[in-house]
Structure 1
Amino acid sequence: MRRIKILEYISLDGIIQAPGGPGEDTDGGFAHGGWSAPFDDPAMDDAIGAAHGTGFDLLLGRRTYDIWAGYWPNAGDSPMADSLNNATKFVATHRRESLSWGPAEALGADIVAGIRRIKAQAGPDLVVWGSSSVTPVLLEHGLADEVLLIVVPVLLGTGKRFFADGTPPCTLKLVRTRTGASGVLVNTYEPAGPLRTGAF
């Protein structure tokens, strides 16, 4: 069985939209694309490399797939570009005929069933980047095995959120943390069951 790892750049106020560059994702008039770039840090790079491991496939929402399909095939020769281009992309989409950045496969009409099927197969870990419509589904149905949050010390105010309305209540266990010289925090969590409440 494969493990599913969610990786996200996230601002202090929970925004995950367009961390990589201006124009990456302007949905909703978002004008702050590239907000993570000034905080690039060896701690962040090391954590991303470790999370990807020696081989992986991708699990992506349609919007993230389209953004990456327009960038990575033309990104030049690098280990990251090669690994992303060669990975199989499993995509939540209604347009399976337009998955030109391959190898790629649509999850099907029932996204949860599609993810369960792929997770049950033998193969490398599945890495999820961005894909704000897919991550709540993974958490709701207990399909995520690891959540790596690269916390960037900025406040953005608006944009697509990782913890959006409708994210299911749950508990996450912090298993690793690292602080970069730029102020970035790299926190790795594992799902730890339903939300627990109490009183002081």
Structure 2
Amino acid sequence: MTSRLVVSAFVSLDGVMQAPGGPGEDDDNGFKHGGWLAPHVDEGFNRIMGDQLDRADGMLLGRRSYDILSSYWPHVSDEDGGAEINSMPKYVATRSPMTAEWRNTEVLAGEAAQTVADLKRRTDGEIITQGSSDLIRTLQRAELVDEYRLMVFPVVLGEGKRMFAEGALPAGLKLTGCTTTDAGVVYMTYAWTGDPLYSSVA
């Protein structure tokens, strides 16, 4: 029994993943570009997101992303699209014990490298992340990520929290899928293959 951990993320062309959903979502370090995703949402975007949720057997969140999503989704009716995400098993990785009031949420208290490794061992299927940039960097360093699903948006932000920040663990990836929405969002899927390969063009 082992789950596959999939990092699902929205990123700008220069790799920023901070505050895609709206102003005020994450203003850390004076970030003023919140809401850069919304102008590019179209039918293709919704179809990709729907497919990801359909395939997922659980969702893993950092504490901040949990607070953002749990303030919204429990109040969305089944008819308006809340059924799937509200009924899905959810896991929140946090260093401090907490009470999770969002339905079907389990708290993973402790160091994420250990608690998420244990989660993968004791569950089956596919667990996806949403947001959670700090958590993702921990998972990368612990080599717990099996696949990346990146939606790259046609916008350059110049600052903000990045998917692959300085100090990210080097990794080899294999492109397993690529498609583009009418709004110009490029959706790419990559499988983790281990260490990078090196050679010379000479």
TM-score (norm 1): 0.91
Which segment drifts farther, 155-164 or 53-62?
Answer: 53-62
Question: In structure 1, what residue type is equivalent to 2:130?
Answer: W
Shift of 1:47: 2.1
Unaligned runs of 5+ in 1: none
Which segment drifts farther, 53-62 or 157-166?
Answer: 53-62
Q: Is the 8 A contact 2:5 2:126 kept in 1?
A: yes
Shift of 1:115: 0.9
Match of 2:175 in 1: 174
Which segment drifts farther, 58-67 or 93-102?
Answer: 93-102
For residues 174 and 142 of structure 1, the distance between their equivalents in structure 2, rounded to whole angstroms, comes to 18
Shift of 1:124: 4.0
For residues 19 and 78 of structure 1, the distance between their equivalents in structure 2, rounded to whole angstroms, comes to 25
Total equivalences in the alignment: 200
Alignment deviations for residues 125-152 of structure 1 (CA, whole Å, 9 cap, x no partner) = 2110111111122222222221100000
Match of 1:149 in 2: 150
Instruction: Give the SS at the match of 2:95.
Output: coil
Match of 2:40 in 1: 39
Match of 1:107 in 2: 108
Q: Is the 8 A contact 2:152 2:186 kept in 1?
A: yes
For residues 61 and 39 of structure 2, the distance between their equivalents in structure 1, rounded to whole angstroms, comes to 25
Shift of 1:46: 2.1
Change (3 A) 1:115 1:133: same
**Equivalent runs, 1:42-81 vs 2, <5 Å:** 42-78=43-79, 80-81=81-82
Match of 2:192 in 1: 191
For residues 5 and 163 of structure 1, the distance between their equivalents in structure 2, rounded to whole angstroms, comes to 15
For residues 170 and 121 of structure 1, the distance between their equivalents in structure 2, rounded to whole angstroms, comes to 25
Instruction: Give the SS at the match of 1:156.
Output: coil
Shift of 1:158: 1.1
Q: Is the 8 A contact 1:43 1:178 kept in 2?
A: no
Alignment deviations for residues 34-62 of structure 1 (CA, whole Å, 9 cap, x no partner) = 10111113332222222222552111111
Match of 2:14 in 1: 13
Question: In structure 2, what residue type is equivalent to 1:178?
Answer: T
Match of 2:90 in 1: 89
